[in-house]
A and B are shown apart, each in its own frame.
Chain A
Amino acid sequence: MKLHEYQAKEVFADAGIPTPDSRLASTVEEVVDAVAEIGYPAAIKAQVHVGGRGKAGGIKIATSEAEAREAAEDILGMDLKGYTVEKVLVEAGVDFENELYVGITMDRGEGEPVAMVSTEGGVDIEEVAAETPEAIAREHVDPAFGLHPYQARKVVYEAGIPRDVAGDVASIVSTLYDLYEAKDAADIEINPVMITADREVVAADAVMNIDEDALFRQPELAEMEEEAAEDDLEAKANEYGFDYVRLSGNVGIIGNGAGLVMTTLDLVDHYGGSPANFLDIGGGAKAERVANALDMVFADENVDSVVFNIFGGITRGDEVAKGINEALEQFDEIPKPVVVRLAGTNAEEGMEILNTDLVQVESTLEDAVQRAVANAEEVNQ
């Protein structure tokens, strides 16, 4: 779960990391008022969950009320990579001499958190990591002990941070690690940390992604979640609690287990079709969940045909069949042809229950996918 910049900055500020004076605004007038309080120059920053906001026109600097008004009018309501901007953070501009990068993330290869510091801040850090990896100093952390203070100092010295601010930057690294651990962050980053002419150290941006699996013990952060769905279907998927990704094709895909669903997508492509979505009903799904999945896929107007691929382990075929029947029996006419393939736990019981007047049945994955692709082609002829 991603926090917005303004939310992450609240968390940082509470922990004692210096951040610029700022206000949240959702109308042009609020922006103008905020700038009047904060003074010039001020940054007006779109609060949406996309990277590269600056390049996409989502961050502007205002040096006068007219400019602030113009920037607010431009940014509020703009479409930023598929998301509509509804809020902006109005923030005091920082007159800086250096821009640094500080981040903590999980190194999944090592199975350990890693703290990273670089003097190459304010730019796309992924590019720096790819092109000049030596420009980023790294320190792995034993998760049982946490980041020792000496490690925070070490990574700061290795990064070549100017000596007069090294202590302050190390202190930020330590605080960030404490937050990373206490808040169950998946990533936590400041890019850039700005060093001002007065040698003050300020977090000019804030990125914080929380491990969704840990939200049960982070109720305060869970409350900060603001649904940011790219479209109505993804919003619906959030509501139903599905792992769902909308794609550009016309064959709707429902299955159980991420690996098998991805394989079904790949096979649709392999047999000349085009997948409309990834939808994993997950393990042990009951009838209602199966019915919700069909509802979701039917709601996608791009879908011309549907393939249901279930290989039961913890999921039981009879429950799936019940769900398919329940979902389809409410229609006088099935909106799109549905091919079902049921295998594994209780598949035979499922096949006995399944109303085969409503669906087409195939016994192998390959046949099911080919039939669904053919169904989609037929619709388009």
Chain B
Amino acid sequence: MSVFVDDDTRVVVQGITGGEGKFHTEQMLAYGTNVVAGAVPGKGGQEVAGVPVYDTVSEAAREEDADASVVFVPPAFAGDAVFEALDSPVDLVVAITEGIPTQDMAKVNKRLSEVDTRLLGPNCPGIITPGEAKLGILPGNIFESGDVGLVSRSGTLTYQVVSNLTERGIGQTTAIGIGGDPIIGTSFVDALDAFESDPDTEAVVMCGEIGGEDEEQAAQFIAGNMDTPVAGFIAGRTAPPGKRMGHAGAIVSGSGTGTAESKISALNDAGVPVGDTPNEVADHIEDFL
């Protein structure tokens, strides 16, 4: 089994006619994802990689029976694109776009609380259920089907940890990128909850980083609600306080919360072993299986 996406998921690509949208649509199709439509204002009637393009997401969803959307729309228009997907409506929106203004995301977040749609991201690599479907930009060839769930705030760190797992023959149920921005749709807790309910997920990897308190909240959730074992990794142990390390979220205030230490100790207190290296995370997962 899997969480959030599988081989029945029917996908609309918003921004399919752009460079990234087109390239990754081809990659998703090659992986076997059911990309059934594109949506780009003013480009209705065209075709990209054999996929019909519509002017609006609602038309695409209606005509092609789509239930998920992937957003490859530039940051200035991406907030609006997510709103459009939420109102279409589809069940899942995956926002790849990096650099959406925070106040746009606050408005999206508000609407999100009023609808049943799930949002992944923004500023995330997407989601993959190996062998079934990938929605986003993850390199499909490093993933293998198996019984470990993975949730991460960082794209490239996800790839690193997955490759450590796959090299040892440990496959994945679903890998979920939740994104590194301050305001995101699906949280660690949401993803962990889904993995806990998935009978095929035997263990979970959670990759966090400095900044915010999402990992601390996740630790509380794990302690109170999870039987599935979780292993963690926290990036940014060596980051100096007060400096922003790329991700908007990855800044340490210097006040003690949001540091690598506070996250690692919260996870350890919840019974979650945290690897010093991605390879050690794979060691812990191996011990669980």
Contacts and interface: CB of A to CB of B under 8 A. Distances in A.
Do chains A and B stick together as partners? yes
Interface of A: 106, 108-109, 111-113, 126, 130, 142-144, 181, 184, 186, 211, 213-214, 216-217, 243, 245, 247, 255-263, 265-270, 275, 278, 280, 283-284, 311-314, 343-345, 365-366
A177 B224 CA distance: 38
A-B CB proximity, top 8 nearest: A259-B154, A258-B246, A257-B156, A259-B157, A260-B156, A214-B101, A262-B235, A143-B106
A149 to B, nearest CB: 20
Interface of B: 20, 24, 75-76, 98-107, 109-111, 125, 137-139, 142, 152-160, 163, 180, 182-183, 207, 209-210, 212-213, 233, 235-240, 243-250, 255, 276-279
B103 A143 contact: yes
Given A130-B255, A313-B125, 8 more contacts: A111-B106, A112-B106, A213-B100, A213-B102, A261-B246, A262-B235, A262-B239, A365-B278
A353 to B, nearest CB: 18
Nearest to B24: A314
Secondary structure call for the A interface: mixed
Contact of A243 (B20, B138, B163, B245): B245
B243 A313 contact: no
A267 B277 contact: yes
Contacts of A112: 106, 109-110
B210 A181 contact: no
Contacts of A143: 103, 106-107, 109-110
A152 B163 CA distance: 52
B285 to A, nearest CB: 17
A343 B159 contact: yes
A243 B233 CA distance: 22
Contacts of B209: 258-259, 262
Nearest to A180: B103
Nearest to B142: A344
A37 B57 CA distance: 62
A258 B102 contact: no
Contact of B250 (A108, A262, A314): A262
16 contacts: A108-B183, A109-B213, A113-B103, A113-B106, A143-B110, A184-B101, A245-B245, A259-B157, A261-B246, A262-B210, A262-B246, A263-B160, A269-B238, A275-B238, A283-B98, A313-B159
A366 B282 CA distance: 13
B179 to A, nearest CB: 11
A265 B247 contact: no
A114 to B, nearest CB: 11
A226 B157 CA distance: 34
Given A106-B182, A111-B183, A280-B246, A263 B102 contact: no
Contacts of B239: 245, 262, 265, 278
Nearest to A130: B255
Contacts of A366: 277, 279
Contact of B102 (A186, A245, A311): A186
Contact of A108 (B75, B101, B152, B212): B212
A134 B19 CA distance: 51
B183 A259 contact: no
A365 B276 contact: no
A238 B104 CA distance: 25
A266 B139 contact: no
A280 B99 CA distance: 15
Contacts of A211: 101-103
Contacts of B156: 255-257, 259-260, 311, 313, 344
Nearest to B107: A143
Given A260-B157, A262-B236, A263-B278, A278 B245 contact: yes
Contact of B157 (A184, A263, A269): A263
Nearest to B103: A184
A258 B139 contact: no
A50 B155 CA distance: 32
B39 to A, nearest CB: 21
B102 A270 contact: no
